Structure 1
Amino acid sequence: MNKKSAAREFCFQYFFHMQLPIFKELREESAKSNEAIVSSISQFKESTDTLLEKNLYQYVINQVENTLKNYSELEAKIEQYLTNWKVNRLSKVDHTVLLLAFSELMYHKDTPPKVVINEFVELAKKYGAKESASFVNGVIDKFAKSEIL
Structure 2
Amino acid sequence: MSDHTPATDEKAPRKTAGKSDSNGIAKSMAKSGRSRSREFALQGLYQFLVGKNEAADIDVFTRDLSGFHKSDSVHYDALLYGCVEQRELLDALIVPLLDRKIEEISPIEHAVMWMGAYEFKHCIDVPWRVVLNEYIELAKSFGGTDGHKYVNAVLNGLAPQLRPHEVQADRAKGIVRS
TM tier, shorter chain?
0.7 to 0.9
Identify the residue that residue 119 of structure 1 maps to in structure 2. 134
Identify the residue that residue 145 of structure 2 maps to in structure 1. 130
Equivalent residue runs for 1:7-46 within 5 Å = 7-20=37-50, 22-24=51-53, 26=54, 30=55, 37=56, 40-46=58-64
Identify the residue that residue 65 of structure 1 maps to in structure 2. 81
Structure 2: gaps spanning 5 or more residues: 1-30, 165-178
Structure 1: gaps spanning 5 or more residues: 31-36
Percent identity for Structure 1 against Structure 2: 22
Return the index of the structure with the highest Cα Rg. Answer: 2
Question: Given that residues 120 and 128 in structure 2 are in contact (C-alpha distance below 8 angstroms), is that contact kept between their aligned partners in structure 1?
Answer: yes
Q: Distance in 2 between matches of 1:66 and 1:125?
A: 23
How well do the aligned residues superpose, as a CA RMSD in angstroms?
1.7
Question: Given that residues 119 and 131 in structure 2 are in contact (C-alpha distance below 8 angstroms), is that contact kept between their aligned partners in structure 1?
Answer: yes
Q: Distance in 1 between matches of 2:161 and 2:89?
A: 17
TM-score normalised to structure 1 length: 0.81
Identify the residue that residue 5 of structure 2 maps to in structure 1. none
Identify the residue that residue 51 of structure 1 maps to in structure 2. 68
How many residues are matched?
A: 134
Identify the residue that residue 87 of structure 1 maps to in structure 2. 102
Q: Distance in 1 between matches of 2:162 and 2:63?
A: 33
> Which structure has more helix as a fraction of its residues?
1
Is it true that 1:76 corresponds to 2:92 in the alignment?
A: yes
